[in-house]
Structure 1
């Protein structure tokens, strides 16, 4: 069974479309577990209505923690829900009808190759849309210069912009056992997806499907969204001219390294960042 884990917070505007897209999935071997993180709008009422109409598919979790923040809320769900496979689900996107089927199929292929006791995760591309679902970017990876191949090199993934988003991830039970206990990164609202990718790249198998399986909605209240105006090369160019910016990144690197449950080489992180700075500066100057 596949457990879909959804954390909600004041999501009444788009939550119905998201749940409807899950109910329309071609793969029906799933259960949706939802934890509301202290909403003050109509989100809880909407969730109760869907759970009442779909008691065999949708389960609402209740606890005393109230507002935990997105990352901790998602990982709390992972801790308390028992399943064979897990997916994270945002409250405001729309899943393509074959999202579960495609992701699960490839994950099973990897399990046949590496064994079911191997921690394995899979992620996909995203189609970026606005609040009305008008397509802004058919491929986040291509349109926003994100390279999914970086997951094959831990230090490239650590020091570059990520192509792996939690709302496209699926992983198996063996992966869950590695991912808990969860440690929240300082100063981040989400970061549960970063935690998943770092650990699976280092300790398991983490691969991707080069196609979009989700309409990733951009609007004014996203916890984390795509930043189209940001250019990583421009950022590196600024760092080259202002070393204090690089120092800030190194401090952030160090804080994250201390949290990880395995050794991360500071010298390798520094080398990768230095190499990227030089490469970007040369390209910018041409």
Structure 2
């Protein structure tokens, strides 16, 4: 009978054996992408390849990427034409290119990865042991200004990551994600449904699918990415009181209900990938969203969905009670 490896031995072996496909979506990013590429070259985990999908840049973005590739001839670097349908669709289009046995890391063109961005994720995933249903590791970012002057760390969420949270909140930033090979295979299996549903964000969908399938979500309080704030990405902020209030306000807008419905369509297309319990949760969630005002709020509360803060959960319930989560409610009236 063969001896079983120790947990420490398993972790050491898997750390050495985890190749990573880095998926970088680019579009007119010549100002910042060179710095990001240099940070990839400085990663302490060296077993990675890079796929750059460009959405029709009219500046020198592709020139910067080609010069980087020429300077690193031993690296596998693929440049492809993106779908020109927005960043989310661009990222989704690359998931199919991840090879069996590869982990997956999303990469924004204007960030900077700290040297341990990949190695910390690999170590955390391997230390947690095999999951059978995929592992998603995320960290915090360090908020910086356009010149990379450090402003503050991103908020630290403390409520446990779970499917009932993922249904109503995107709180696993894609630019810090590392998805293990099993999780990457899961995302490949569900990718077509997400693309057809035109989900609003690939990170929200990835969190939902991996959590819904019974995978493990590891939230690491460490900061591994310098998140550059500039005029082109200000909508991504969640680190100031004004930004947090704006996000809570979105819960009362009809757009949020539409986003939930797009996510539902993507998850329903991948229903066979969910655990039986979470497939039932999804069914109850859809029924709640289709219910009129107060009944919708009551159903959501009974289901136990939650956001990461009490204020966020309260705002969600108020929006549901006001009928704002139903389809076509931008004017405040149920239709």
TM-score normalised by the chain length of structure 1: 0.81
Question: 87, 95, 102: which is aligned to 1:78?
Answer: 95
> Offset of 1:62 from its aligned partner?
2.6
Counterpart of 1:270 in structure 2 is 300
> Offset of 1:53 from its aligned partner?
1.3
Counterpart of 1:171 in structure 2 is 179
Question: 171, 187, 209: which is aligned to 2:220?
Answer: 209
> Offset of 1:80 from its aligned partner?
1.5
Greater relative CO, 1 or 2 (CA 8 Å, sep 6+): 1
> Offset of 1:121 from its aligned partner?
1.1
| Structure 2: gaps spanning 5 or more residues | 1-18, 272-278, 289-297, 307-311, 320-335
> Offset of 1:249 from its aligned partner?
3.9
Moved more, 268-277 or 28-37: 268-277
- Equivalences, count: 262
CA change 1:246–1:18 in 2 (3 A) is closer
Work out the CA distance in 2 between the residues paired with 1:29 and 1:22. 11
> Offset of 1:93 from its aligned partner?
0.5
Alignment root-mean-square deviation, CA: 2.9
Q: 1:148-201 CA deviation, whole Å, 9 max, x = no partner? A: 53413x2223224x331111001122112221242135473xx11111100111
1:194-233 equivalences in 2 (<5 Å) = 194-203=204-213, 204-222=215-233, 225-227=236-238, 228=240, 229-232=242-245
Work out the CA distance in 1 between the residues paired with 2:137 and 2:41. 21
Moved more, 170-179 or 11-20: 170-179
Q: Is the 8 A contact 1:150 1:157 kept in 2?
A: no
Question: Are 1:2 and 2:20 counterparts?
Answer: yes
CA change 1:256–1:10 in 2 (3 A) is same
Q: Is the 8 A contact 1:141 1:163 kept in 2?
A: no
Q: Is the 8 A contact 1:233 1:280 kept in 2?
A: no
Larger radius of gyration: 2
CA change 1:252–1:102 in 2 (3 A) is closer
Work out the CA distance in 1 between the residues paired with 2:110 and 2:177. 16
Counterpart of 1:141 in structure 2 is 155
CA change 1:48–1:269 in 2 (3 A) is farther
> Offset of 1:207 from its aligned partner?
1.3
> Offset of 1:231 from its aligned partner?
2.6
Work out the CA distance in 2 between the residues paired with 1:29 and 1:91. 20
Work out the CA distance in 1 between the residues paired with 2:36 and 2:134. 28
Work out the CA distance in 1 between the residues paired with 2:165 and 2:147. 35
Q: Is the 8 A contact 2:136 2:217 kept in 1?
A: yes
